Structure 1
Amino acid sequence: MLMDKVAEIIAEASAEVVEPRFRALAAGEVMEKAPGEVVTVADREAEVIIARRLRELLPVPVVGEEAVAADPDLAKALHTEPAAWLVDPVDGTANFIAGRPEYAVMVSLVRDGRTVASWIRHPVTSTTYTAELGSGAWRDGHRLTRAPAGTDPAKWRGSVKSRFLDPSRRRMVEANTTAFGEVTAGRHAAGIEYPDIAEGAMDFMLYWRTLPWDHAPGSLLLTEAGGRSARLDGTPYHPEPPGGEDGLLVAADPATWERCREILLTP
C-alpha cells in the first residue's frame, strides 16, 4: 500500500505543477538559489505538495532539497530521527529548464540511517521505478534484474563526474578512463543515470558530491536490482546530510565495482 500511495503522490504532483511548465517556464520562474545553482517554481511548488501528502501518509520529517536550501539544519533529521522522507521535486533542474527530457521526481524513505524504499518518476515517459529494501527493484510493476557487465573493461560504458574532485585526483581519474570502452559526461540527473545502470544502458558511474536526495533513491534501486553502490573505501552507501562524506562508485555488479575502483583510483 505504501509503495503504491507514494507513487500516486509523486505522479499527481508532477502532473499538477511540473509537467505543465516543461518547455513552458515563464519569465521570472527560474531563480538562482546559490552561486551556480538554479531552481524553478516547479521545484518549489512540487516539493510543498509532495511534502504535505507524505506527512499525511507517514508523519515523519521531510528532508526536501528546496527546504534544506532555505534551512540546512533540516537535513539533520537523517541522523537524529528514526525515520525521514527525502524529496527531490525536480532532479535534473538544468535539463528541465533547457527543455531536455532527462529529469525526474524522486522520493525516498530513510529509517535508522538506511534507505528502505524509493521512488523515481520520469514524467516525460510516465515511467515509475520503485525499490524496497530486501524486496527488489521494479519498473512499472516489472521486476528489474541487472545482469553482470562482463569481464572486459574495454566493453564497459560509464560516466565519471570529476567536477568536484581535487585537481590531482581529477587528473589521475580522467587519465585512467582510457581503460574503458566509453566514458560519457553522464545525463546530468541521477534519477536518469541510476535506472540506466539498472537496465543495462550503462555499467558504472563515479560521483563525488553525493547529496542525499540525489543518490538515496537510485542507490537502493540499483542494489535491489543486483548492482552495487558503495563509498570509495567499499562501505555501503547510506544517505548523509549535505557536507558529509564524498565519493560514490556505483556499478552493475560487485565484480564490476571492484574492477572499476581498481582502474580509476590507481595512481
Structure 2
Amino acid sequence: MLIDAVTEILRETAEIAILPRFRALAAGDVSEKTPGEVVTVADREAEDLISRRLRDLLDAPVVGEEATAADPALLSALQAAPTAWLVDPLDGTANFVAGRPEYAVMAALVRSGETVASWVVRPAEDDVYVAELGSGTWRNGIPVHRAPAPADPAHLRGAALTRFLDDATKAHVSSAAHRFTALTPGTKCAGVDYPRLLNGDQDFLLFHRTLPWDHAPGVLLLTEAGGTARHLDGTPYSPSIPKAGLLAAADEASWQTVRTLLLP
C-alpha cells in the first residue's frame, strides 16, 4: 500500500540520517543556504535517501527542497509532469540545529497539480500524520477530525509568521493581536504548526511564503480533516501555482472571521 510504504521510507530515513544527529551536529555539519536560512548534512542526506526510494516506489520526478535550491527549474515538474513527489527532508532546520524538537520530515504526492496524498512524520515525538484525498486524515493510524473553532474571536488561538510580510500588513497583524486569546509567531516549522491546528492546539495559521514542500502536506492533512486553507483572496491552495499568502483555519467560519479581523 502506497501510504504505508512512504511512511516507512520517511521513518527509516529519520532513523538513519536525522535522529543520530539531533543535538550532535558538528561545526562543519551546518552551513548557510541563503541569508538567515541554514542547511545541515542531515537535510541533504535525508533528501537523497528519500528521493531514491520514492522513485523506486513510483517513478516520477522528485521536487525536493534542497535539490530545488540548487536547481529551481525542478519546480516546473509540479505543472508539467502528470505525477510528482514533493519532499521536505527536514522541516524546521533552524529548530533542529538549536536542539529543539520542533522539526518534521514531510512528503506529498501531486497529480495534475493537486495534492492527493501527504505525510508528516515527527521523529522526536514518534508521531505520523497521513492524508489521502477523499479518504481522510490519520494520526498514528487513528482517524482525525478537526472540530469547529469557537465562534467568538476572543477565544481563538493562532499563529502568524510575520517575517516575510510587508510592513503595512505586519503592522495590521500586530494591531489586531489583542482580538484573539493568543497570537504567536508559531514554531517556524509547518510540519509542527499544521498538526497543532489539526489537534486543536490552535485555531488558525497565517503564512506569507507558500513553498510547496512546506504547505502541500499540511494543507491536505487539514482539509481532509474538515479544516479550511485558502489564499488570502479566497482562492484554493495548489502546490503547482506559486502565490503568496495563505490562511489555514479550523473551519470556514473561523477562516472568514480571522481574514476580516487580522488582515487589511
Q: Does TM, normalized by the shorter one, top 0.5?
A: yes
Give how far 1:150 is off.
Answer: 1.6
| SS in structure 1 at match of 2:26 | coil
Q: Distance in 1 between matches of 2:216 and 2:52?
A: 20
1:90 touches 1:103 (CA, 8 Å); kept in 2? yes
Name structure 2 gaps, 5 residues minimum: none
Give how far 1:119 is off.
Answer: 0.3
- Amino acid paired to 1:91: D
Name structure 1 gaps, 5 residues minimum: none
Q: Which residue number in structure 2 is paired with residue 190 of structure 1?
A: 190
- C-alpha distance after superposition, 1:134-174 (max 9, x if no partner): 10000010000010002111011101111111111211122
1:176 touches 1:264 (CA, 8 Å); kept in 2? yes
User: Is 2:90 the partner of 1:90?
Assistant: yes
Q: Distance in 2 between matches of 1:27 and 1:38?
A: 13
Question: Please, what TM-score do these two structures have when normalized by structure 2?
Answer: 0.98
- C-alpha distance after superposition, 1:73-96 (max 9, x if no partner): 011101111110000000000000
- C-alpha distance after superposition, 1:50-95 (max 9, x if no partner): 0000000000000000000110001110111111000000000000
Aligned-residue CA RMSD (Å): 0.9
1:211 touches 1:240 (CA, 8 Å); kept in 2? no
Q: Which residue number in structure 1 is paired with residue 262 of structure 2?
A: 264
Q: Distance in 2 between matches of 1:179 and 1:27?
A: 44
- C-alpha distance after superposition, 1:112-136 (max 9, x if no partner): 1111000000001111000000100
Q: Which residue number in structure 1 is paired with residue 12 of structure 2?
A: 12
Q: Distance in 2 between matches of 1:166 and 1:184?
A: 18
Give how far 1:36 is off.
Answer: 1.4
- C-alpha distance after superposition, 1:175-223 (max 9, x if no partner): 1222111111101100000000011000001100111100000000000
| SS in structure 2 at match of 1:128 | strand
- C-alpha distance after superposition, 1:205-250 (max 9, x if no partner): 1100111100000000000111001000111111147xx2100000
Taking only the aligned residue pairs, the percentage that are identical comes to: 59
Q: Distance in 1 between matches of 2:240 and 2:114?
A: 10
Give how far 1:45 is off.
Answer: 0.2
2:114 touches 2:240 (CA, 8 Å); kept in 1? no
Q: Distance in 1 between matches of 2:100 and 2:226?
A: 29
